[in-house]
Structure 1
Amino acid sequence: MAQQARIGLIGLGTMGAALAQNIAEKGFSIAVWNRTTQVTRQFHAEAGDLADRIVPTETLADLVDAVAAPRIIVLMVPAGQPVDDQLAALSPLLAAEDLVIDAGNADFHSTTLRTDAGLPFGFMGIGVSGGEDGARHGPSIMAGGTRAQWDLVQPILTAIAARAEDGTPCAAWMGPQGAGHFVKMVHNGIEYADMQMIAEIYGLMRDGMAMDAGAISRVFAGWNDGALRSYLIEITASATATEDPHTGRPLVDMIVDRAGQKGTGRWTAIEAQHLAAPIPVIEAAVMARNVSAQPDQRRAAEDRFGAAPTPCRLDTATLEQALIAGKILCYAQGFAMISAGSGMFGWSLPLPQIARIWRAGCIIRSTMLNDMARALDDHPDRNLVLAPLFADRIEAALPALRQVVSQGIAAGHPLPALAGGLMWFDMIRTARGTANLIQAQRDFFGAHGFSRIDGIDDSHGPWGG
């Protein structure tokens, strides 16, 4: 088969098919292969005007032959063993100058191990955010690999990426090894937390303020014109306004209260512990999804203790300010975790650039990221809550967050993410906390020692004397 395609792609599932169409639409010829040949044929048959730039292939060898050297081949297969299987199958077919890109939701540790495994071709991992619509029309892309590998694929990746309002492509090189997948993992953790905080505010309106779905939708739609303008607020307004075609009721009221997850939020929470990076808002969001998956236990507890939520005196303006504060605290924790990972793995992750490539295409895109990028430009090592602009915003919104959390909890509303953000903030702004007692306890039972406020280190107490 004549070498005619600029790039190849393996895996024509929902995301793979959308990404292949995006690549072809941007003017790049692309060879495609799927394990099931009929899927490949059908994809090409239904490609319409893009079919001339799509080369369907029936074997891996055909795919490799169809791509011009140095070959670039994108894997859009499930994370884990399927990736290793494809790498093994490609090994005898590719040359050292060729490049395979894992564009799935891989564990960044696995990406680093694969990079260091001595594959007979180049390998890099990229995080792709935005779901099916993003893959088709412009995702946010976080690339991990060598600089030379990025230079090779940069023309294609920046062409297919989303564009921010200033026209900047939302694709960038993060660093070597698993850096791209690490940043994508933290992105997904922030996504979990953002969604959870929105759901908590929704719950307060529904159960604490007796608002119906239509009224809630109008509130979210109004908020999307202000500081909270973002993709998640926008779709929340749309989702709560949607009518169930079968019953005529709000569709959101017909959905089972059980949230699914694919694991990336859990990975974020686990990795944060290894990095000693406090991310309580994200951890609370993961916990909340796990609890949501236990409906029988929740029903039994409600039968024993009674339904939790009762009315509470709040207004939507206060809820808006509380959500603004929660969002800032959540993103501050996420960027602090990225900074911790950057130091731990020696990656020099570009925090301002990360904020910029999240401004469009990805699930957590938000106008607030413009200000975050500028704040990180000024001082990338400073926590966002200490940046002057965000410090002022936190100070202004903090009374609302405190009111919402205190009144909501008093009325029995579960607010783990909002409360987690508030508790973290109160801890980081307390110069002398209560860890001195914990150190006393550790020394008492384990002789672990402690530092004294008068500057003497490695001290021990005369406990029990």
Structure 2
Amino acid sequence: MAQAEIGLIGLGVMGSNLALNIAEKGNTIAVFNRTVERTREFYEEAGDLKDRIIPCETIEEFVAAIKPPRPIIIMIKAGEAVDQQMEILKPHLEAHDIMIDAGNANFRDTMRRFDTLKDSGLTFIGMGVSGGEEGARHGPSIMVGGLEESWTRVEKVLTSIAARYEGDPCVAWLGENGAGHFVKTIHNGIEYADMQMIAEIYGILRDGLKMSATEIAEVFATWNKGRLNSFLIEISEIVLRAGDQLGSEPLVDVILDKAGQKGTGKWSVIEAQNMGVPATGIEAAVAARSLSSMKTEREAAEKILGLPDVPPLSIGDKAAFLADLENALLAAKIGAYAQGFAVMAAASREFGWNLPMPTIARIWRAGCIIRSQFLDEITKAFTESPDAANLIVTPAFAAMVKETDGPLRRVVSTAVLGGLPVPALASALGYFDSYRRARGTANMIQAQRDYFGAHGYDRTDGKDSHHGPWGSGLVAERS
């Protein structure tokens, strides 16, 4: 019997869809699930694709069914379960076989697993897969981290199943060990920010302009034809148009305002902080989700504090304000992406990955959740300015920041004066205002730090004097 080109363990929704995608693209795949009944059920449901699927009921049978060196995708719950599955597999594998974690793993776990296998003859790939269930079935964006020779072994299969943007496959090898999962983590962090900013704009339209879900859907539909064209804007229109299956209201109006999160946004914030890179849009989005989960506390607080005593939103010309909202969202989106790419650039230096920024933007253009027309512009910007310190100082994006500065400033001001929370939009404005200002206010912080902790400071004139006269009579006289 012919051997499979690749194997996959874990036939949940994502694993099943990925396996069908692999088979549909002409590759033979061996599959295994801890529950034998699920393997049999999956095979029976595969229809015309059965000829390229080898269902296996034991690990021994599964490993034997794959052509060496064996690439084995592990598509199960991230964390300890992956370590356990690796331990089960290891005694059955041979030199150069590759275990591939395709879940939402913490990149530090991926680096640890890579190091653990270093002297075993086996190797590891941490593979970020974005696009959800639909992407897994019909074409995801794939971010690969591992040895280049491991990538070479799986390149043909992964290229065949990846999403395509104008014929270009959205898959790439990004570097060794944790590079792929790190990039996927930052992708998800940007996704958090993008979703939060859209939600804040929705809040201004709903609570500030008193527009219905259907009216807001029309706004998003219009924006999706312009510079904000993206998967998230597209689905925002769709969910706003959906009716409640159990009633007559728009579905979005009966959904509880408590947002879930699985950890990747939080990891993005933690790693940004570890590397000293501001990612304020992602931070605001993660904090907003946490605050949203405090539903009972928020309800109690409204009873005690009430809503702000402010006049109704004053917007003047509605069409002009809607144009401002569109441009403000574009500006905030630029800030979130700029921060995400800055975090990746810092990680690339710290871990020696040499992450290819234009390639990352390129493989995000289709298949993934944050796919958008906007990413084509980022690809071009980093290709033309590969050494740029930040996306917002590349010529094209510097022009966009200048163009959208006024709308963002007006929208944030209007929302704040109207008592509407816009933490992510406001964070973008604060980021731009801080990043573009050559002389900031941290000199005051350095003076304070030196006063209470003798931490020292540098002088603008370069003179060799790094501590203030805080204990002298001069300070006493001035105070």
TM category, shorter: over 0.9
Query: 1:32 maps to what in 2?
Result: 31
Matches within 5 A, 1:51-66: 51-66=50-65
Query: 2:322 maps to what in 1?
Result: 316
Matches within 5 A, 1:109-124: 109-118=108-117, 119-124=120-125
Query: 2:139 maps to what in 1?
Result: 138
Query: 1:292 maps to what in 2?
Result: 292
Query: 1:179 maps to what in 2?
Result: 179
Query: 2:418 maps to what in 1?
Result: 411
Matches within 5 A, 1:390-405: 390-405=397-412
3-state DSSP of counterpart to 1:356: helix
Query: 2:318 maps to what in 1?
Result: none
Mapped to 2, the partners of 1:120 and 1:64 lie a distance apart of 16
- Aligned partner letter, 1:4: Q
How far off is 1:310 after superposition?
6.4
Alignment check: 8 A CA contact 1:114 1:123 kept: yes
Query: 2:302 maps to what in 1?
Result: 302
1:361 lines up with 2:367 in the alignment? yes
- Of the three residues 341, 348, 351, the one matched with 2:357 is 351
**So what's the TM-score if we normalise by structure 1?**
0.98
Alignment check: 8 A CA contact 1:77 1:104 kept: yes
3-state DSSP of counterpart to 1:8: strand
Matches within 5 A, 1:81-96: 81-96=80-95
Q: Which runs of 5+ in 2 are unaligned?
A: 316-320, 473-479
**Structure 1 residues 196-223: Cα deviation after superposition (integer angstroms, max 9, x where no partner):** 0000000000000000000000000110
3-state DSSP of counterpart to 1:35: coil
How far off is 1:316 after superposition?
1.3
Mapped to 2, the partners of 1:296 and 1:83 lie a distance apart of 36
Query: 2:471 maps to what in 1?
Result: 464
**Structure 1 residues 131-150: Cα deviation after superposition (integer angstroms, max 9, x where no partner):** 00000000000000011111
**Structure 1 residues 428-453: Cα deviation after superposition (integer angstroms, max 9, x where no partner):** 11111110011111111111111111
Mapped to 1, the partners of 2:346 and 2:233 lie a distance apart of 29
Mapped to 2, the partners of 1:377 and 1:457 lie a distance apart of 42
Alignment check: 8 A CA contact 1:207 1:311 kept: no
How far off is 1:384 after superposition?
1.1
Query: 2:49 maps to what in 1?
Result: 50
**Structure 1 residues 134-178: Cα deviation after superposition (integer angstroms, max 9, x where no partner):** 0000000000001111111010111100001x2100000100010
Alignment check: 8 A CA contact 1:450 1:457 kept: no
Query: 1:159 maps to what in 2?
Result: 160
How far off is 1:457 after superposition?
4.5
Mapped to 2, the partners of 1:263 and 1:89 lie a distance apart of 26
Query: 1:427 maps to what in 2?
Result: 434
Alignment check: 8 A CA contact 1:3 1:65 kept: no
Query: 1:205 maps to what in 2?
Result: 205
Judged with a 3 Å threshold, the aligned counterparts in structure 2 of structure 1 residues 275 and 457 are, in CA distance, closer, same or farther, namely farther
Query: 2:168 maps to what in 1?
Result: 168
Query: 1:247 maps to what in 2?
Result: 247
3-state DSSP of counterpart to 2:91: coil
1:447 lines up with 2:454 in the alignment? yes
Query: 2:263 maps to what in 1?
Result: 263
- Of the three residues 422, 442, 445, the one matched with 1:438 is 445
Mapped to 1, the partners of 2:121 and 2:9 lie a distance apart of 18
**So what's the TM-score if we normalise by structure 2?**
0.95
Judged with a 3 Å threshold, the aligned counterparts in structure 2 of structure 1 residues 120 and 81 are, in CA distance, closer, same or farther, namely farther
How far off is 1:262 after superposition?
0.5
Mapped to 2, the partners of 1:168 and 1:458 lie a distance apart of 57
Judged with a 3 Å threshold, the aligned counterparts in structure 2 of structure 1 residues 374 and 407 are, in CA distance, closer, same or farther, namely same
- Aligned partner letter, 2:163: A
Structure 1 moving runs of 4+ over 3 Å: 308-311
Judged with a 3 Å threshold, the aligned counterparts in structure 2 of structure 1 residues 310 and 286 are, in CA distance, closer, same or farther, namely farther
Mapped to 1, the partners of 2:350 and 2:12 lie a distance apart of 35
- Aligned partner letter, 1:75: I
Query: 2:475 maps to what in 1?
Result: none
The two structures, once aligned, show a CA RMSD in angstroms of: 1.1
Alignment check: 8 A CA contact 1:125 1:143 kept: yes
Mapped to 1, the partners of 2:340 and 2:386 lie a distance apart of 13
- Of the three residues 307, 332, 355, the one matched with 1:326 is 332
Q: Which runs of 5+ in 1 are unaligned?
A: none
**Structure 1 residues 356-394: Cα deviation after superposition (integer angstroms, max 9, x where no partner):** 000000000010111111110112231111111111111
- Of the three residues 322, 337, 347, the one matched with 1:341 is 347
Alignment check: 8 A CA contact 1:5 1:55 kept: yes
Judged with a 3 Å threshold, the aligned counterparts in structure 2 of structure 1 residues 171 and 245 are, in CA distance, closer, same or farther, namely same
Q: How many residues align?
A: 463
- Aligned partner letter, 2:362: R
Judged with a 3 Å threshold, the aligned counterparts in structure 2 of structure 1 residues 60 and 448 are, in CA distance, closer, same or farther, namely same
**Structure 1 residues 85-113: Cα deviation after superposition (integer angstroms, max 9, x where no partner):** 01100110000121111111000001001
